[in-house]
Structure 1
Amino acid sequence: MIRVLMTRKVPKLTSGLDVALLPTLSEMLIDLRSMAHRQPGYISGETLRSVEDPTEYLVISNWKTIEDWKRWLANQDRAMLEGQIDALLGSSTVYKVFGYD
């Protein structure tokens, strides 16, 4: 099994326009998680928000094998939605993959 840690920074909300983005972002993240659930090798995932910096989110995703993760990462529908999320946030999602020794 491997674990993938993904971090995202949500821009600080300074205007009504920024606040209006939150429902869209939430819907996109739900769609992304729903897509992952249907992927072979997906085990589970969780989303955490930093206590010290509420603009930072951590998603932990568990996969049976690195190959399962790589197939998901290469999925064009996932990449398109991830690109929309990154464009909305103004920064790229950071991925780190960990395994057991």
Structure 2
Amino acid sequence: MTIKVLIKRNIPKTASNELNLIFMEMRSAAMKQPGYIGGETLRRVDVPEKSLIISRWQTLDDWTRWLVSDERKQCQDRIDALVDIETKYEVYEN
């Protein structure tokens, strides 16, 4: 069973360039992980500071391994230092 992870973040305009670089680094690292299928990033039309990432994984275990990995945690720590609202995760199955 494949899963989709919805990742919701607020992206302050003042940090958007730096955050975009971190997001690209994180996506590149995720692509090397077992079970990663793909992902896309969306921005809300009416509230451009809101971002939604849809990440697709083969299994919940694959996602969980990535979620707790040191590499992802280091990127997330850098993101947390630049944003004022906690990243939210929701996991859905197909």
TM-score interval, smaller chain? over 0.9
Instruction: Please say which structure displays the higher CA radius of gyration.
Output: 1
Q: Within 2, Cα distance between the matches of 1:35 and 1:89?
A: 21
Report the RMSD for the aligned CA atoms in angstroms. 1.0
- 13, 31, 36: which one pairs with 2:30? 36
2:83 corresponding residue in structure 1:
89
Offset, 1:22: 2.5
Amino acid at match of 1:6: I
2:7 corresponding residue in structure 1:
6
Q: Hey, which of these two has a bigger chunk of helix by percent?
A: 1
The runs of at least 4 consecutive aligned structure 1 residues that moved more than 2 Å come to none
What are the within-5 Å matches in structure 2 for residues 22-61 of structure 1? 22-61=16-55
Amino acid at match of 1:2: I
* Structure 2 stretches lacking a partner, 5+ long: none
Offset, 1:23: 2.0
Q: Within 2, Cα distance between the matches of 1:53 and 1:97?
A: 23
* Structure 1 stretches lacking a partner, 5+ long: none
Query: Given the two structures, how large is their TM-score scaled by the length of structure 1?
Result: 0.87
- For residue 88 of structure 1, give the secondary structure of its aligned residue in structure 2: coil
Q: Within 1, Cα distance between the matches of 2:76 and 2:9?
A: 11
Amino acid at match of 1:10: I
